[in-house]
């Protein structure tokens, strides 16, 4: 089985328990207002969605001194335009509660990054405080993706539809997604190559906001992708592998800000 196969199997087990409690969703819950996830992409300059994750299937634990709220503050203080929060538990050591904790302490919009395969997860995301959610075209049918995009809009959130190849792009365009992310990571091997973004970008109409995800490690990568028409960049491991003040310095370097 590939990494993706294992993750989806685990997600199905998790959902079998969760769906039995779906009637309890939102009872007596104070939900934080939705923040506009698209507005940062309309501003000039480099827009980085900085990711908060403790581990990955390919690397294991990435960050030993992991405090999601502290990391979110560092990202905000050093120029991130939005946050991506891994909430998958087994393989990424995430938790849905991270979102509410982070939103109490920062003003940035927050993306829930997980493996959404069921409609109930969309409502769950809004109740957790998410402003946007990741929808992976590879793991959904064409019709499911369109339905999930519509439901996400109904909940007031922004769907970020993630694509990996030409077939995924066809699904994304059919779904009427306005925000599309090209993932440079192969979902089977988990290896990265920004050449995937450069190849696929030309297949997406200019009326969509297109971002590049994964494998972006230096300012030169961002400059190359910006020239190809990318409006934003989702960056995780190259930031999370830094320690302490190094996270902020790395982010400033990627943004080409003064790091002195």
Is 3 among the domain residues? Answer: no
Is 112 among the domain residues? Answer: yes
Is 188 among the domain residues? Answer: yes
- Min mean pLDDT across 59-63, 114-118, 250-254 is at 59-63
Q: Which of 78, 84, 103, 113 is catalytic?
A: 113
Q: Tell whether the model's pLDDT for residue 28 goes beyond 90.
A: no
Q: Which of 56, 84, 175, 183 is catalytic?
A: 183
Is 17 among the domain residues? Answer: no
Q: Which of 213, 237, 238, 250 is catalytic?
A: 213
162 belongs to the catalytic site: yes
Q: Tell whether the model's pLDDT for residue 258 goes beyond 70.
A: no
pLDDT digits (tens, 9 = 90+) for 215-236: 999 999 999 999 999 999 999 9
Is 29 among the domain residues? Answer: no
Give the predicted TM-score (pTM) of the model.
0.94
Q: Tell whether the model's pLDDT for residue 167 goes beyond 60.
A: yes
Q: Which of 76, 88, 162, 237 is catalytic?
A: 162
Is 199 among the domain residues? Answer: yes
User: What is the structure's pLDDT at 31?
Assistant: 82
Assign residue 130 the CATH number of its domain. 3.20.20.70
113 belongs to the catalytic site: yes
Q: Tell whether the model's pLDDT for residue 260 goes beyond 50.
A: no
214 belongs to the catalytic site: yes
Domain assignment of residue 53, given as a range:
46-255
213 belongs to the catalytic site: yes
154 belongs to the catalytic site: no
Q: Mean pLDDT across the stretch 80-106?
A: 96
125 belongs to the catalytic site: no
Is 128 among the domain residues? Answer: yes
- Min mean pLDDT across 18-22, 58-62, 250-254 is at 18-22
User: What is the structure's pLDDT at 1?
Assistant: 74
- Binned at pLDDT 50, 70 and 90, residue 22 comes out as low
Q: Tell whether the model's pLDDT for residue 27 goes beyond 50.
A: no
| Percent over 70 (pLDDT), the chain | 95
Q: Tell whether the model's pLDDT for residue 199 goes beyond 60.
A: yes
DSSP secondary structure letters along the chain: --HHHHHHHHHHHHHHHHGGGGGGTTTT--PPPPP-SSGGGGSSS--EEEEE-SEETTTEE--SS--HHHHHHHHHHTT-SEEEEE--STTT---THHHHHHHHH--S-EEEES---SHHHHHHHHHTT-SEEEEEGGGS-HHHHHHHHHHHHHTTPEEEEEE-SHHHHHHHHHTT-SEEEEE-B-TTT--B-THHHHHHGGGS-TTSEEEEES---SHHHHHHHHHTT--EEEE-HHHHTS-THHHHHHHHHHHT----
User: What is the structure's pLDDT at 25?
Assistant: 57
User: What is the structure's pLDDT at 233?
Assistant: 98
- Domains held by the chain: number: 1
Is 35 among the domain residues? Answer: no
Q: Which of 84, 125, 214, 238 is catalytic?
A: 214
53 belongs to the catalytic site: yes
């Amino acid at each position: 089985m590939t990494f993706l196969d294992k993750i989806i199997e685990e997600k199905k087990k998790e959902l079998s328990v969760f769906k039995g409690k779906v009637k309890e969703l939102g009872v007596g819950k104070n939900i934080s207002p939705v923040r506009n996830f698209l507005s940062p992409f309309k501003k000039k300059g480099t827009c980085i969605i900085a990711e908060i994750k403790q581990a990955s299937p390919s690397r294991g634990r990435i960050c030993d001194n992991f405090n999601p709220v502290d990391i979110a503050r560092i990202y905000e203080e050093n120029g991130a335009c939005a946050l991506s929060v891994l909430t998958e538990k087994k393989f990424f050591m995430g938790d849905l509660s991270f979102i509410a904790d982070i939103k109490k302490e920062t003003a940035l919009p927050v993306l829930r990054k997980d493996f959404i395969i069921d409609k109930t997860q969309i409502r769950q995301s809004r109740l957790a405080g998410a402003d946007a959610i990741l929808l992976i075209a590879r793991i959904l049918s064409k019709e499911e993706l369109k339905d999930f995009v519509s439901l996400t809009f109904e909940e007031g959130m922004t769907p970020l539809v993630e694509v990996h190849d030409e077939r995924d792009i066809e699904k994304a365009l059919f779904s009427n997604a306005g925000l599309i992310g090209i993932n440079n990571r192969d979902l089977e091997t988990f290896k990265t190559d920004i050449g995937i973004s450069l190849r696929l970008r030309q297949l997406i109409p200019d009326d969509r906001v297109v971002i590049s995800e994964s494998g972006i490690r230096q300012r030169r990568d961002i400059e190359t992708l910006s020239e190809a028409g990318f409006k934003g960049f989702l960056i995780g491991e190259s930031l999370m592998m830094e320690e302490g003040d190094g996270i902020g310095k790395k982010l400033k370097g990627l943004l080409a800000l003064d790091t002195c």
